[in-house]
Amino acid sequence: MSTVTLKVNGGTHTLDIDPGTPLLYVLRNDLDLRGPRFGCGLGQCGACTVIINGAAIRSCITPASAVQGEITTLEGLAKDRKLHPIQQAWIDEQVPQCGFCQNGQILTAKALLDRYPHPTDAQIRDGMARVLCRCMTYYRVQAAIKRAANAMTA
Ligand code: FES
Ligand code: FES
């Protein structure tokens, strides 16, 4: 066991954990943050995505002890009980179907929009390509990203 300090959604948490514990397990089991999902556990689907220092990171293959910097989970997007524009766009476009992948879709979209405030279709396709959705919500995801981009830059 070792002592690990994580900065998550504006708070600081110090935990005694096995240093190899995936960040996903710590977020869900120790910090009770259920936004990030366990999908493949292999870094291939994106369901477990969180944002670390602005980048979309797969928390299932990231040891918690290796994380430096600020972690944002889905729970950290809304501020003062007001939805983030990306969350609102997801609602307006009625993106989710079963919902399982949507944590990864939304957080990957956030990292994309932070990097490209006005993304082209190609940038959206490239940026979102590795976040899998077996309900095939991809077209609605693209529409929601464009809606969010407009809202965030209006
Ligand atoms: S659960 Fe992490 S990439 Fe699939
Ligand atoms: S909404 Fe069902 S897997 Fe994406």
Tokens of residue 153, six digits: 């830059």
Amino acid at 140: R
Q: Specify the pLDDT at position 105.
A: 98
Using the predicted structure, report yes or no on whether residue 154 has a pLDDT greater than 90.
no
Per the DSSP assignment, residues forming a β-bridge with 45 are: none
CA of 116 to the centre of ligand 2 (A): 25
Report the number of distinct structural domains present in the chain: 2
**Quick one: 72 and 91 in the same domain?**
no
Q: How far apart are CA 105 and CA 102, in angstroms?
A: 5
**Quick one: 63 and 105 in the same domain?**
no
Q: How far apart are CA 51 and CA 68, in angstroms?
A: 12
Cβ(41) – ligand 1 distance below 6 Å:
yes
Q: Select from 76, 100, 130 the last residue of a domain.
A: 76
DSSP SS3 for 72: strand
Q: Specify the pLDDT at position 148.
A: 98
**Quick one: 128 and 145 in the same domain?**
yes
**Quick one: 57 and 96 in the same domain?**
no
Instruction: Give the number of whichever ligand sits closest to the CA of residue 103.
Output: 2
Of 37, 44, 101, give the one whose Cα is nearest residue 73: 37
Q: State which ligand 2 atom lies nearest to the alpha carbon of 96.
A: 1
pTM for the model: 0.97
Of 1, 21, 105, 112, give the one whose Cα is nearest residue 67: 21
Cβ(45) – ligand 1 distance below 6 Å:
yes
**Quick one: 10 and 66 in the same domain?**
yes
Q: Which residue range(s) make up the domain with 105?
A: 85-153
pLDDT digits (tens, 9 = 90+) for 38-80: 999 999 999 999 999 999 999 999 999 999 999 999 999 999 9
**Quick one: 101 and 140 in the same domain?**
yes
